[in-house]
Amino acid sequence: MKKVITGDHAVAIGAKLCRVDVVPAYPITPQTLIIEHIADFVNDGELDTKFLTMESEHSVMSAAAAASAAGARVFTATSSQGLAFMHEMLYATAPLRLPVVMANASRTLGGPPGIWCEYNDSMGARDSGWLQLYVEDNQEALDMIIQSFRIAEDKRVLLPVMPCLDGFVLTHTVEPVEIPTQEEVDSFLGPYEPDIILDPARPAMIGTFMPAEYIMELRRQTVAAFDSAKDVIREVNSEFSKKFGRDYGGLVDTYRMDDAKVALITMGTVTSTSREVVDDLRQKGEKVGIIKLRFFRPFPSEDLRKLVSNLDALGVFDRSISYHGGGPVYNEVRSALFGMKMPVINHFAGLGGRDVTEDQIFKMFELTSRAAKGEKVKEVNWHNTRGETV
């Protein structure tokens, strides 16, 4: 069934189709529509879930972790300051291996405060042990909620997953979305059946005080789960594509990369706009393509090295900064490509929700192409920023 709905609505429907047991919630723009839709589902009897109206995001993630530890499938959503407020609890959830799924409506993290799209909220959580992915449209938003639960609950992974969708650009934009049937989703995603949970019938201790002679192995174990997650993400993608007919490529997706000489690494909705730009440039005969970075954690280093091996130059789009020069994606990419000789050019755009236009993306390709030809190009470029020239 096709529906014309917002990204937030698509996420809510995704959670509903996953038959989530517990949803602790706290409102924050632009995530609010997600929890409002879920509240509607619950109050209309369409969804049998424990919907908890918590008093803060810190309590949301606390309740989420606790419910997950007690054996429930848990979903929630947040954004920006809310994600920052629950930061402490992100670090509790992941190493305890509690497969919570939380949508993040990407929004600038103040101050000064703003409500529009920027990735500095989720980038701050990149080392918390959560898997992190960015979607490009509302269909992918819905589909990735379903895939996220499959990935999170896989026994080889058992880690929380944070699908991020661009604030307003997706959360509040309607577009057609194919809604899978409950039967289809049920056959793709079985019930959550964890091994060890809080249960008086078989008492467990979870989150014990841990001396130094034990904690390093726990960290190492979590890294192993991240490694396994790469395979699981690819497997789940291919199974999903067989069942639902939509293939997202796994950790990364590509567009017109077959004979590309210059490529741009994009995330989120900028990927979508970039497709139009690439089509235009291709018509003009330029061999350009897009690498859509879907998962930022685990970071697809091996995939990237393969994809860029025939390029003359690579551009990297960043929607948040690290204050020391390059953006977090740029630094991660540079590290993944260490030893490869091609120029890698960083492009900042869209901070604080400033619209990332086709003109800006053309400029990103132009600068990267000039670098490909051996011209001197600045390593870090601020697009559409007063006082900066690109």
- Please give the residue ranges that form the binding site for another protein (CB under 8 A): 21-22, 24, 49-50, 52-56, 58-60, 62-72, 74, 88-89, 92, 95-98, 158, 195-196, 198-200, 202-211, 213-214, 217-218, 220-221, 224
| Least spacing, CB of residue 265 vs another protein, in Å | 33
Helix (H) or strand (E) holding 103, with range, is strand 101-106
Q: Which residues pair with 255 in a beta bridge?
A: 290
Q: How many CB atoms lie within 10 A of CB 364?
A: 28
Tokens of 145: 């909620």
Nearer to another protein, 111 or 200 (CB): 200
Q: How many CB atoms lie within 10 A of CB 198?
A: 15
Nearer to another protein, 125 or 308 (CB): 125
> What is the number of alpha carbons within 13 Å of residue 145 lying toward its C-beta?
32
| Least spacing, CB of residue 196 vs another protein, in Å | 4
Nearer to another protein, 159 or 270 (CB): 159
| Least spacing, CB of residue 39 vs another protein, in Å | 14
Nearer to another protein, 53 or 309 (CB): 53
- Which residue matches tokens 């470029």? 381
**Phi/psi at 166 (5° precision):** -65, 125
CB neighbour list of residue 228: distance below 8 Å, 6 or more residues apart: 154, 156, 157
| Least spacing, CB of residue 71 vs another protein, in Å | 6
Nearer to another protein, 211 or 387 (CB): 211
Nearer to another protein, 48 or 355 (CB): 48
Nearer to another protein, 89 or 361 (CB): 89
| Least spacing, CB of residue 110 vs another protein, in Å | 21
Distance CA 157, CA 134 (A): 19
Nearer to another protein, 1 or 205 (CB): 205
Nearer to another protein, 214 or 385 (CB): 214
Distance CA 126, CA 84 (A): 12
**How far is C-alpha 3 from the geometric centre of its chain's CA atoms?**
23
Q: Is residue 315 helix, strand or coil? A: strand
Distance CA 124, CA 185 (A): 32
| Least spacing, CB of residue 205 vs another protein, in Å | 4
Tokens of 106: 């990407």
Distance CA 297, CA 317 (A): 17
| Least spacing, CB of residue 92 vs another protein, in Å | 4
Q: How many CB atoms lie within 10 A of CB 376?
A: 7
Q: Does 298 sit behind a cis peptide bond, omega within 30 degrees of 0 on the bond before it?
A: yes
Q: Which residues pair with 382 in a beta bridge?
A: 348
